[in-house]
Amino acid sequence: MDPQAGKKKEMKKQFMHKVKETFVSLVAPRIAATFDDVTVSEIICGDPECAPVDTIVRIIFKDAPIKSFGMPKEVEDVTLEDLQEFMPTDDVLEGWSRGEDLEWPPLPDEGEPPQDVVLRFELGDRVECRVGATKWAAGVVIKQWYREPGWPTDHFAPYQIQLDNGKKIFAPKDDVQVIRAEPPPPEANGADSAEPAAEGDGGAHAPMHSS
């Protein structure tokens, strides 16, 4: 047994109390009056892209659900500046105290798709999508100006497509070498219809991406 364990635990408690008191001091008195209690704890983050330990501040309101916010560091490393950076605004705290389900932290700004670009395909259009060097797959356009989580602001793919095999992919650009109109079905005269050939040089253009 670590002879220092008890001392370390007591120090953690002191740091947690300090974070709590500092947080409450930063909140407008009219909002702090809606708190029933504030607790501070640490959690281990299992995501390799986040800090190993997060400090979590939980706000127990008198007449509203519990809310919380976190800071990506151990409690003893939390500073006044950290609290000022990560704590919710007064407007959010006041909304929480009324039971409003406000987002915090705010969602990142996705930006706007280009306004001067006219896409070739509309929602519901049948298309063929390049899925390899020479292979194409048929599907339906289900979204214009598609984004995935984590993409930079103002970064959009022109289309998301639902393939006939059930898979969803996106087109990285609106280019005939990447996405094209599906050919009409063969005539009813029974003549065989050749499979459309991939346009252009097979290896020179970006294939479609799964979404």
Concatenate the DSSP letters of all residues of the chain into one string: --TTHHHHHHHHHHHHHHHHHHHHHHS-HHHHTTEEEEEEEEEE---TTS-SEEEEEEEEESSS--EEEEESS-GGG--HHHHHHHSPPHHHHHHHHTT----SSPPPP-----TT---S--TT-EEEEE-SSS-EEEEEEEEEEE--TTPPTT--EEEEEEETTS-EEEESS--TTTEEEPPPPPPTT----PPPPPPS-TTSS---EE-
pLDDT at 165: 94
pLDDT tier at 205, thresholds 50, 70, 90: very low
pLDDT at 84 over 80: yes
Query: Looking at the predicted structure, is the pLDDT value of residue 204 above 60?
Result: no
Torsion of CA 152, 158, 160, 164, to 10 degrees: -150
Domain boundaries, the chain: 5-97, 126-186+196-210
Q: What percent of the chain has pLDDT over 70?
A: 84
pLDDT at 162: 96
pLDDT tens digit sequence for 169-186: 999 999 999 999 999 988
* 50: amino acid identity, one letter: C
pLDDT digits (tens, 9 = 90+) for 28-63: 999 999 999 999 999 987 665 566 889 999 999 999
In terms of Cα–Cα distance, which of 12, 9, 20 is closest to 74?
A: 12
pLDDT digits (tens, 9 = 90+) for 110-161: 788 888 999 999 999 999 999 888 899 999 999 999 988 778 778 899 999 9
Residue partners of 183: CB distance under 8 A and separation at least 6: 128, 193, 196
What pLDDT does residue 209 have?
A: 67
The pLDDT mean for the chain works out to: 86
Q: What pLDDT is attached to residue 203? A: 38
Q: 177 with 200: CB under 8 angstroms?
A: yes
Whether residue 105 has a cis bond before it, omega within 30° of 0: yes
Residue 1 has pLDDT above 80, yes or no: no
Structure tokens at 183: 């050919």
Q: What is the pLDDT of residue 186?
A: 81
